[in-house]
Amino acid sequence: MFQLTLARKKILWAYLFLAIPLIFFLYIRIYPTLFAFEMSLYDWNPLAEEQEYIGTENYERLATELNNPRSVTRAAFSNTIVYVVLGVPIQLSIALLVALMLNEIGRLTMLYRLLFFLPFVTSTISIAWVFRALYQPQFGFLNVLLTLFSLPQQPFLKSPTQALPSILAMIIWQGLGFAVIIFLAGVKQIPRDYYEAATVDGANRWQSFRRITLPLLNPSIVYLIVLQSISFLRTFAPVLAMTTQGDGGPLNSTTTVVLRIYREAFQRFDMGFAAAQTVFLFAIILVVTIVQMRLTTRATD
Amino acid sequence: MSRAAAWPYKTFSYLMLTLIGLTMIVPFAWMIATSFKPATEILRPNFFPVAPTIANYETVLFDTALPRWYWNSIVVAVMSTVSVAFFDSLAGYVFAKYQFPGKRIIFILFLSSLMVPTEMLIIPWYIMSVHPIVGSSWVDTYWGIAFPGLITAAGVFLMRQFMQGVPNELLDAARMDGVSEFGLFWRIAIPLALPAVGALCIFNFLGNWNAFIWPLIITSARDMMTLPVGIQFFSTEAGADWHLIMTGATLSVVPLLLIVIFFQRYIIDGIALTGIKG
């Protein structure tokens, strides 16, 4: 028998320590990922005896439905794009403004930070139901406010044109605090000297903001755009909670990709088609992540 | 910038922050106020109840499964937080402090799992839970709800960053003194990385407490639902009983608000430091 050298012993210990996490990742993360790809090639129904291999039929069906302007799948994807394209810029603009103002004031910073942070840590489902109540006709606080100012009452969640913005407002509201904190951390890292030098050179606030704040905040901005885009792409719980029967209505005007996946997989048990949609969602998220990596490497170069 | 030039901006900032800050708490205030309204007052447009009552709380606490959902959420969140604190730290420690063949490939394996959205995994997880390789069905069990979150890739990376700060000299000296390899991790690395472990625990607890889509799928028995799933079902069933829905929402949100008010500094600094989402 050879003697175990210290180096060999350490290697053995490293493997031993990593054994459970490694098995976990292989079985709970890697295997299901591959399994999802496999399922997407089947007409998979858990209630059936055997699963039928159908090749790329699920993907062809997805392409057909995406090309059909009247299909629910098309509505889900186009709504999701609207959630991302409207939600991310609005949320990040407000958050940046709030972070800059928080940086401006001297006192009460902790109190304000707490205020903006509260919605972020509370349960999305509970908050979504509170907003659903806020949007109600008659007693809903928002319509009470409108009446108070002699403005006409609005249908909000009951209108096909107002429902999506109403839900989006709640999502923006809830996630604002997270973006504020990331921006605030970024703003605090910018040396005060830069602004003082700029003032000496006769720059006004807007110029300082354009030439110093924005470029130096670039890493935080890119980071938040990617993180928030992914989180808006995955919108699910607020739509489930704020639409009648959680159906993404009225007239599919608020439904999202993940809500469709949930319904296809766990209510219609068409798991193969649902899996194909998750693969497509995964591809989109992957592209967003890769673009972020490119942008951040360029920014640090 | 001179003080004279700064004050209008300051005043404007206070004003705007107060305005936006108000929109942050008004929904909570309205929720709490509504939870004290008797059913007859619900459709009235007043903000505060005219004749406040605690009847809604009695109904929700004694006639619904809400206390049970609370308990389930606590069990699951504690289970996963303990597991994450231990295994994420251990894996992070190994990646930071050991050299071994295959380290790079295993690390990339962990890393790659970060990009896969939960939505892609839930369908396979469900099939795996109905026919598990160990034991009987995981549907409607604590293990079933908790298993996907027992070890997290984000936590492993966070801990690896912090464990790199543990001095090698300290570990080597302790090794010479005959401390076991596990002892090095448990008695030297963990105490030094305690702030990071704390942040990890808080975010993991919050994340699990609010987790929705997987608990929604893996539970069907009313008694096994977690708080968010219970609230969703309860609200759908309560239909027009807005006073009860607001009471349930208040009961589910207020304890969390208290925790945050109490620990806000740690949580906010933790987010700024790690960028982890709860």
- Segment B223-244, tens digit of pLDDT: 999 999 999 999 998 877 999 9
pLDDT above 60 (res B213): yes
**Contact criterion met (CB < 8 Å) for B98 and A139:** no
The minimal CB distance from B123 to the residues A236, A241, A271 is found for A271
> For chains A and B, what is the number of CB pairs under 8 angstroms?
270
* Chain centroid to CA A288: 12
- Say whether residue A122 is in contact with chain B using an 8 A CB cutoff: yes
- The predicted pLDDT at position A214 comes to 92
- The predicted pLDDT at position B277 comes to 66
Letter for the amino acid at B24? M
* Arithmetic mean of pLDDT, A243-263: 95
- The predicted pLDDT at position A301 comes to 47
Where residue B6 falls among pLDDT bands split at 50, 70, 90?
low
> Percent of chain A beyond pLDDT 90?
75
Which residue in B160, B158, B248 sits closest to B207, CA to CA? B158
Place of tokens 């599919």: A252
Per CB-CB distance under 8 Å, the chain A contacts of B147 are: 28
> Percent of chain B beyond pLDDT 70?
96
* Arithmetic mean of pLDDT, A31-58: 94
* Arithmetic mean of pLDDT, A185-189: 91
Please give the residue of chain A at the shortest CA–CA distance from B126.
A266
Answer for the pair A155, A148: CB distance below 8 angstroms, yes or no: no
Q: What is the dihedral of CA A224, A229, A234, A237, to 10 degrees?
A: 60
* Arithmetic mean of pLDDT, A102-106: 85
Where residue B272 falls among pLDDT bands split at 50, 70, 90?
confident
Q: For A119-156, what is each residue's pLDDT tens digit?
A: 988 999 999 999 999 999 888 999 999 999 999 999 99
Per CB-CB distance under 8 Å, the chain A contacts of B16 are: 97, 101
Q: Which of A256-260, B39-43, B255-259 has the lowest mean pLDDT?
A: B255-259
Q: Which of A203-207, A296-300, B34-38 has the lowest mean pLDDT?
A: A296-300
pLDDT above 50 (res B2): no
Per CB-CB distance under 8 Å, the chain A contacts of B205 are: none
Question: Higher pLDDT residue, A233 or B4?
Answer: A233
Pairing of strands A52-53, A42-43: antiparallel
Where residue B156 falls among pLDDT bands split at 50, 70, 90?
very high
Please give the residue of chain A at the shortest CA–CA distance from B110.
A25
pLDDT above 90 (res A106): no
- The predicted pLDDT at position A1 comes to 47
B43 CB contacts (<8 Å, ≥6 apart)?
A: A138, A139
The minimal CB distance from A116 to the residues B21, B42, B115 is found for B21
Q: For B46-83, what is each residue's pLDDT tens digit?
A: 899 999 999 999 999 999 999 999 999 999 999 999 99
**Contact criterion met (CB < 8 Å) for A21 and B1:** no
What gap in Å lies between CA A17 and CA B257, rounded to an integer?
Answer: 37
A residues 83..102 contacting B (CB < 8 A)? 94, 97-98, 101-102
- The predicted pLDDT at position B239 comes to 79
Answer for the pair B151, B84: CB distance below 8 angstroms, yes or no: yes
Place of tokens 């050991």: B98
- The predicted pLDDT at position B65 comes to 95
pLDDT above 70 (res B43): yes
- The predicted pLDDT at position B238 comes to 83
Burial A37-64 (b: 16+ CB within 10 A, else e): bebbbbbbbeeeeebeebeebbbebbee
* Arithmetic mean of pLDDT, A268-290: 95
Place of tokens 């620990």: B263
pLDDT above 80 (res B85): yes
A252 CB contacts (<8 Å, ≥6 apart)?
A: A72, A75, A76, A79
- The predicted pLDDT at position A2 comes to 56
DSSP annotation of B222 reads: G
- The predicted pLDDT at position B252 comes to 93
Which residue in B111, B275, B173 sits closest to A289, CA to CA? B111
Phi, psi of B125, rounded to the nearest 5 degrees = -60, -40
- Say whether residue A29 is in contact with chain B using an 8 A CB cutoff: yes
Question: Higher pLDDT residue, B275 or A22?
Answer: A22
- The predicted pLDDT at position B240 comes to 77
Per CB-CB distance under 8 Å, the chain B contacts of A181 are: 268, 271-272
Q: What angle do CA A201, A204, A205 make, to 5 degrees?
A: 130
- The predicted pLDDT at position B276 comes to 66
